[in-house]
């Protein structure tokens, strides 16, 4: 292409300022056969950013299991994963991060995270039916924590409630590693008929390219590149990189997309999220081995005098790119007109594989599509990694270092008041959990959210899980636990695990110790996913989650959040709450003399870092299979996994909804604090009716899984080793009100 005097020819300093390195700048010149102009360099900077290209992670991501009989699309090749549910139905689901925007502008950052993940779902032709979220905030005593949680929760609630998709569950953790850089991971799942799938692809020379939805503004420019930057004391200066959402516009876009999915009018469609028009046009073109000519003058704009690169890189929300089969333009336009949305012809498909962007009758950028995208010309790196010094130190931890408490009642009250244990009721009440009438677990709590698949005898179970303290202690084991706990939650709810999506949150990949965490997380995730036959359908990698202040870089705990779905019949739904005061309580799995990385260790002893809790993958797998059989044979009344807070918290959570209690006896072979509060894995507390006890015991004796009688359900009294701990109402009050008291305190 020719340049005019008005063009800015890019140099190395421009490249460095845009987050590219010297080698990447030279590679760009080799690809183009010339020096890029500033617009072209800006395009490369966002498309080759970590957020879009996964250049520092893709090598390891490819080692994850990504195939399975239930998979309908290849992992990472569409906007979201797509899994076969039978009955001609499919589930599209995905989890993504919106960490950096939420750190700078919590309300809009979280809100647009919700909007973006839902667009990924309905762009494929699936109607979103349920949302989850996984949130991480700093130390409760940090000056910024309350403002962040208030803004993030309100942003999620306002957008999700207005959009009309229920939030059916999630998780929240607090740790000082997230003081400045919170994590906001949003999950969405949608249902579609398999024959209404819409691919993110472009092909067919001469086919029309439409931009649909909202007008384009200057919000979110270089947002993808911003997501690959450190959070520093000056990050507020990057506020223009944070997008602004409109849930009511998104609702219109959803309905138009659903109507469009019923017809054979289009080739493909893609959400315009990170990197805006550039990302959608390049990825769709690369997928179809074609090119595009785009006229930026025709793009509907909210602001005057926008530069070409601003239009191309804008991340204004509620927009999509649609490639229409020639001759169907008016039919497509009529659908979007009906919903009062922009639907503007801005370009055509070409056969040369080149992206050409025009403005003011001038060619402003010309780049081969495939060189911009993951799997094409985008760089791929293998980073140095090394074991951190802290790792060996943590392995030296022993329970023998810790003195047993004198007053277990005080410890139990202190533990359930912890913000990492107590009820998330204050948050949940700000979300609409019932819109759409598909939520089946609001008044019948389960370890996973249960969603009705209307018109069938099936339900979809879903969960998000990760204990980042475990992962920091041992990335391989911690990642295996994250996958296993997600599967355990699905199983305890009556479901069979199908597949996962992941959101991998880490610090700076150029830090060898951070990259060591990442590599070992992938190894652990791979082993667990293979064991449970839960392929990875896709997800998100979010690096650069750290705080930089006074030239010191503090990464967050490595946080590989696992989103998992499962499937079961409505007859197999299992809840976690005790049913009757005479029911017997059994422990499936083996109690161990282990308090490593427990919340008890943090709350009662002030020890934040220690070794990972006990875990054995084979043992976990066997126990989950037993739980599945117990449920299918109607041998148990409730099932609840034992995780954060240990056995005591698990039993308390099973007691609360029915205002019941429990009377149990601890083991003389295990320290009492480990028995009650330890977080060793692969354990489930179940309740059994008296009339089913013999059948239960006969079944368990034929299986090689440890189990033991703990005690029985009471009318409301909590008794341990014949000592009265109090009534359920006292504990319920502490458990349900601790978070609201923290948020509302000045």
List the catalytic residues.
51, 98
Residue among 260, 158, 160 at smallest CA distance from 210? 260
Neighbour tally for 716: CB within 10 Å: 17
> What is d(CA 444, CA 657) in angstroms, rounded to the nearest whole number?
8
38 CB-near residues (< 8 Å, 6+ apart): 7, 8, 9, 10, 14, 309
Residue among 489, 426, 442, 461 at smallest CA distance from 644? 489
Q: What single DSSP character describes residue 123?
A: T
- Inter-residue contact 736 to 425 (CB < 8 Å): yes
Dig out the tokens for 125 from the structure: 């032709």
Side-chain-side CA neighbours of residue 598 (13 Å): 33
| 170 DSSP β-pair partners | 133
Sheet with 723-727: strands ordered across: 638-641, 684-688, 584-588, 707-714, 661-664, 717-720, 723-727
- Inter-residue contact 74 to 45 (CB < 8 Å): no
Side-chain-side CA neighbours of residue 204 (13 Å): 16
Buried b / exposed e along 458-488 (16+ C-beta atoms within 10 A) = bbbbbbbbbbbbbbbbbbbbbbbbbbbbbbb
- Inter-residue contact 522 to 56 (CB < 8 Å): no
> What is d(CA 77, CA 41) in angstroms, rounded to the nearest whole number?
25
Neighbour tally for 391: CB within 10 Å: 17
| 585 DSSP β-pair partners | 687, 711
């Amino acid at each position: 292409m020719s340049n005019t005097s008005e063009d800015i020819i890019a140099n190395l300093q421009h490249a460095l300022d845009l987050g590219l390195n010297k080698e990447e700048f030279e590679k760009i010149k080799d690809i183009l056969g010339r020096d890029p102009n500033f617009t072209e360099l800006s395009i490369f900077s966002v498309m080759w950013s970590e957020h879009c290209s996964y250049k520092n992670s893709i090598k390891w991501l490819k080692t994850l299991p990504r195939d399975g009989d239930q998979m309908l699309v290849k992992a990472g090749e569409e906007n979201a994963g797509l899994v076969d549910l039978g009955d001609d139905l499919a589930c599209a689901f995905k989890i993504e991060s919106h960490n950096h925007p939420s750190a700078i502008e919590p309300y809009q950052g979280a809100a647009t995270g919700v909007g973006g993940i839902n667009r990924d779902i309905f762009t494929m032709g699936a109607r979103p039916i349920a949302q989850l979220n996984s949130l991480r905030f700093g130390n409760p005593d940090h000056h910024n924590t309350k403002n962040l949680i208030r803004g993030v929760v309100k942003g999620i609630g306002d957008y999700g409630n207005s959009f009309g998709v229920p939030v059916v569950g999630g998780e929240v953790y607090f740790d000082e590693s997230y003081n400045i850089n919170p994590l906001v991971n949003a999950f969405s799942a949608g249902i579609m008929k398999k024959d209404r799938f819409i691919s993110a692809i472009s092909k067919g020379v001469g086919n029309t390219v439409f931009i649909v939805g909202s007008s384009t503004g200057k919000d979110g420019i270089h947002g993808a590149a911003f997501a690959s930057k450190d959070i520093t004391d000056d990050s507020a200066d990057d506020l223009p990189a944070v997008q602004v959402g409109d849930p009511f516009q998104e609702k219109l876009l959803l309905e138009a997309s659903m109507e469009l999915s019923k017809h054979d009018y289009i080739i493909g469609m893609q959400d315009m999220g990170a990197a805006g028009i550039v990302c959608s046009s390049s990825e769709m073109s690369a997928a179809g081995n074609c090119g595009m000519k785009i006229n930026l003058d025709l793009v509907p704009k909210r602001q005057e005098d926008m530069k070409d690169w601003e239009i191309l890189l804008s991340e204004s929300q509620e927009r999509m790119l649609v490639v229409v089969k020639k001759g169907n333009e008016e039919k497509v336009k009529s659908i979007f007109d009906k919903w009062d949305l922009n639907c503007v012809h801005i370009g055509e498909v070409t056969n040369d594989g080149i992206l050409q962007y025009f403005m003011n009758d001038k060619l402003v950028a010309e780049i081969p599509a495939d060189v911009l995208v993951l799997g094409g010309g985008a760089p791929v790196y293998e980073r140095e990694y090394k074991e951190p010094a802290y790792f060996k130190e943590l392995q030296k931890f022993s329970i023998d270092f810790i003195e047993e408490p004198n007053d277990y009642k005080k410890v139990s009250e202190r533990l359930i008041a912890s913000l990492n244990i107590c009820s998330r009721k204050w948050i949940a009440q700000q979300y609409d959990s019932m819109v759409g009438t598909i939520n089946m677990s609001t008044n019948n709590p389960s370890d996973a959210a249960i969603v009705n698949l209307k018109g069938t005898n099936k339900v979809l179970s879903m969960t998000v899980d990760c204990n980042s303290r475990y992962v920091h202690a041992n990335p391989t084991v911690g990642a295996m636990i994250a996958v296993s706990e997600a599967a355990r939650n699905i199983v305890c709810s009556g479901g069979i695990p199908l597949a996962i999506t992941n959101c991998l949150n880490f610090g700076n990949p150029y830090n060898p110790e951070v990259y060591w965490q990442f590599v070992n997380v992938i190894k652990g995730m791979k082993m667990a996913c293979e064991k449970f036959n839960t392929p990875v359908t896709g997800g998100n990698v979010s690096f650069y989650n750290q705080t930089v202040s006074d030239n010191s870089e503090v990464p967050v705990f490595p946080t590989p959040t696992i989103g998992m779905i499962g499937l079961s019949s409505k007859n197999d739904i299992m809840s976690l709450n005790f049913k009757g005061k005479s029911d017997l309580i059994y422990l499936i799995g083996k109690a161990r003399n282990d308090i490593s990385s427990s919340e008890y260790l943090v709350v009662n002893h002030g020890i934040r870092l220690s070794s990972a809790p006990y875990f054995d993958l084979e043992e976990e797998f066997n126990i989950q299979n037993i739980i599945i059989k117990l449920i299918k044979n109607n041998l148990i009344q409730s099932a609840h996994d034992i995780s954060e807070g240990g056995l005591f918290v698990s039993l308390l959570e099973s007691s609360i909804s029915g205002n019941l209690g429990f009377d149990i006896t601890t083991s003389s072979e295990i320290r009492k604090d480990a028995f009650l509060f330890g977080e060793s894995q692969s354990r489930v507390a179940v309740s059994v009716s008296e009339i089913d006890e013999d059948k239960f015991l006969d079944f368990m004796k034929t299986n090689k899984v440890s189990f033991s009688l703990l005690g029985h359900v009471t009318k409301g009294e909590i008794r341990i080793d014949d000592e009265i701990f109090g009534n359920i109402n006292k504990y319920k009050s502490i458990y349900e009100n601790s978070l609201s008291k923290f948020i509302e305190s000045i």
